[in-house]
Amino acid sequence: MPDPTPGPLVIAPNLKRRLSGVTATVVRLIPVQARMIAIRATGPGLPPEVPHIPLARAVLMPRDRWRVWHARRNTEMALGLILRRVLRRKYRLMFTSAAQRRHTGFTKWLIRQQDALVATSDKAASYLDRPATVVMHGVDTGVFHPAGDRAALRRALSLDPDAVLIGCFGRVRAQKGVDLLVRAGLRLLPDRPRAQIVLTGRITPDNRAFADGLLAEIRAAGLENRIRFLGELPWDQVVRHYQALDLFAAPARWEGFGLTPLEAMACGVPTVAARVGAYETLIRDGVTGSLVPADDLDTLTEALRRWLDDDAARRQAGRDARAHVEASHAIEGEARALVALYHDLLARP
């Protein structure tokens, strides 16, 4: 949409064209923040409904006042540093980190140049070696909400309206534990004719052999019509597929933050997830879903079996999941916390 202000106070760069977790954060958060402060995203691949300005304008912003450059990737931190030190633009530099691992030497150097740091969890903060404010991700409960008529939605999406449907969304790779879910399905589905699994997400060339191997296992079991890879979907279709599910699975081997369980729970879908990323903070074990050890096929299979076989418990967990997200993880809380940090940076002498 066109920028109605003469100059935003905050710029949120997104220097990646394809959809990623970071891009999804920018896309969902900026419209909410724009109701609280003059903020614009910049970079390629942003949908038109996100308030944004051309990158060239962000680079050549007038030196009339301080602004905040809120980076979420190394490339964005580096560009912010160039803008301030080389082009002499008046940017306060802020970085949000979700990574739960030791940073490289270059990343550590970039982090030391920032004026403020945000971490999406306490664990992510522990890897920064500098004080950081913890601001957990939230989810837009107006976008992610239970379907009014799930059977009708499934028919519109060419999904079985009578199935007990498990979903797993994200790039198809070993890090996401896709193979664990498929192999749990190979164990569970033969004795549960209503159960089905759908997986969405891009398969990159380096993961093609990984995906092909799983497809071969599915075909050998005769389950190709009940365990399906739907490919990369447009964002609005991803939301609709969340709403069509009975159960969500996030069996990642490692994760930075991991937003998909929140999105599923906001749609009234209980989640079975590994104890990685922020999942232990997001999921109430036994209430809104289940937590299992990472890379543990047996425990994952048992947790899925529990929810598949108890329709009443699964539906109650879905209601509890929606209420939990509304009470503790709505996106407005994340937006307010970040806007408070922007104002603090802008007020510095």
194: Cα separation from own chain's centroid: 29
Q: Report the C-alpha gap between 2 and 49 in whole angstroms.
A: 10
Could you tell me what percent of the chain has a pLDDT over 90? 85
> Which residues are registered as beta bridge partners of 196?
165
Q: pLDDT at residue 49 above 70?
A: yes
Which range among 211-215, 274-278, 305-309 shows the weakest confidence by mean pLDDT? 274-278
Q: pLDDT at residue 345 above 90?
A: yes
* Averaged pLDDT for residues 113-129: 93
Q: Which two tokens stand for residue 287?
A: 């209430």
pLDDT band at 1 (very low <50, low <70, confident <90, very high): very low
- What's the predicted TM-score (pTM) here? 0.83
Predicted pLDDT at 167: 98
To which residue do tokens 């598949």 refer? 308
Contact 113, 269 (CB under 8 A): no
Element (H, E) at 235: helix 235-243
For the segment 15-45, what is each residue's pLDDT rounded down to a tens digit?
Answer: 987 667 788 888 889 999 999 999 999 998 7
For the segment 215-237, what is each residue's pLDDT rounded down to a tens digit?
Answer: 999 999 999 999 999 999 988 89
Q: In angstroms, what CA-CA distances link 167 with 125, 196, 323, 344?
A: 30, 9, 20, 41
For the chain, domains (ranges, CATH) are 10-138+330-347 (3.40.50.2000), 150-328 (3.40.50.2000)
Phi, psi of 60 (to 5 degrees): -105, 30
Contact 135, 118 (CB under 8 A): yes
Q: pLDDT at residue 258 above 90?
A: no
Q: pLDDT at residue 72 above 70?
A: yes
104: Cα separation from own chain's centroid: 23
- Nearest Cα to 163, choosing from 244, 219, 240? 244
